[in-house]
Each structure stands twice: as C-alpha cells, then as structure tokens.
A and B are shown apart, each in its own frame.
Chain A
C-alpha cells in the first residue's frame, strides 16, 4: 500500500541531545513537508522540499535541520538548539507544482524532552 511512514511513533530525548525523526513515502511525490503541532494548536511549517537535494525553511526552522538525498526520504533532525522541542511532528507529501492535489500525512511522531 502506498503511503507515508513516520518513525518512531513516540520519542523521548534528553536535553542537549539531537534526535532524528524519520519520514519515508512510496507515493512518488516530489514535495515533502515537516510540520510541528503543539497541543490545541494548528500546524506550523518547519521545512519543505519540492525536489531532491533542495529544501526551504518554513516559519519555524530555527533549531531544526533536514536533508533530501532521496525522493522517498525527508528526515528531520531536532537539534539541541531547539529550545522547546516537545511537540507532535507531522510529515506530509504531495505532488509538486500544482495547487489542486492534497497532502498525504504520516501518523506523526510525538517527541518529549525528559
């Protein structure tokens, strides 16, 4: 079945540690996105990528980094520079260069700093 897989579902991190969240898709989509969601709030864009080896900062990129070495994969690293990383992280993908197709989402990763 085609879709987006995020792992792990739950992640605990000690303060000062970097962690990497995985996002893999087999939908052959060019565009991929990372969003952060805090309790009771909407989705805020961290990074997005329209094509392999290229990505753009979103609204809240500070303290995060990404790579897009393969079309299928768009991992997100939460660095120690991110002051308040505890949140729900959603990865999405879509066909690129069109406004009329929806984004497909993964199941999300819930990150907790302990």
Chain B
C-alpha cells in the first residue's frame, strides 16, 4: 500500500531561520516521485520541489531543498531563510506508476507559521 505520513500538524519558525518539515513514505514500487506543495490561505496548491526515487542528489529549488533519505523512506522539506510569506500549509505527496495509473498520494499536511 502507498502511504505518506506527515507527523507535524503545526510548526513555528522565526523569520530568517531555517525550518525542516518532515515526511515519510511507504511504497514497495522502485520507481516513484516525491513532491512538496504549498497551500496558502487562498487555497491554491503551489508546486515547490520534486525528487525522483533514482535521483542521486537531493533536489534544490531556491530556498527549498529536499532531504531525501531513501533507506529511511523520508523526504523532508527544508526551507532556508524563512519569510513571512512562507506561512501556509505544506503537503508532501508521492506518485507511483502502477498498472491502474499513477495517482498522487498526499499527506495530511503541516501548518507552518513564520514569526516576525
């Protein structure tokens, strides 16, 4: 069974500090993709970063980096130099290619609040 787990319902971080949002996943498929999305209060889902299961290096996109530890099945999001605009819900997702298609599996999300 495919599963994404985010164990931090809420997180606080001081402005300009770094923060790590945890994500663990479970799949027996060797080929999968891991994604992080940001959802501000407006409700839109904004794609942040992607990591492939065969990628040797951790993905980075500006202030976002993905700490991918395959043996531990974890894909934590690191946000450096937090800004007030980073306050939002963050969702980890996994996509697995199967014979019935390739739907996305989402975690329950982490609410991040950046404190001035």
Contacts and interface: CB of A to CB of B under 8 A. Distances in A.
B43 to A, nearest CB: 4
Nearest to B94: A99
18 contacts: A31-B101, A35-B106, A41-B108, A42-B108, A56-B100, A56-B101, A90-B43, A90-B45, A98-B97, A98-B102, A99-B32, A99-B52, A99-B96, A100-B95, A103-B93, A103-B104, A105-B44, A108-B44
A94 B35 CA distance: 13
Interface string A93-105: 0101111111111
Contacts, number: 70
Contact of B50 (A40, A43, A102, A107): A102
A68 interface: no
A35 B93 CA distance: 13
Interface of A: 31, 33, 35, 40-43, 45, 48, 50, 56, 58, 88, 90, 92, 94, 96-105, 107-108, 110
Given A35-B106, A99-B31, A108-B44, 18 more contacts: A33-B103, A40-B111, A42-B91, A42-B106, A42-B107, A42-B109, A43-B91, A45-B103, A90-B45, A92-B45, A97-B97, A97-B101, A99-B53, A100-B50, A100-B95, A103-B47, A103-B104, A105-B44
Contact of A110 (B43, B47, B104): B43
B35 A102 contact: yes
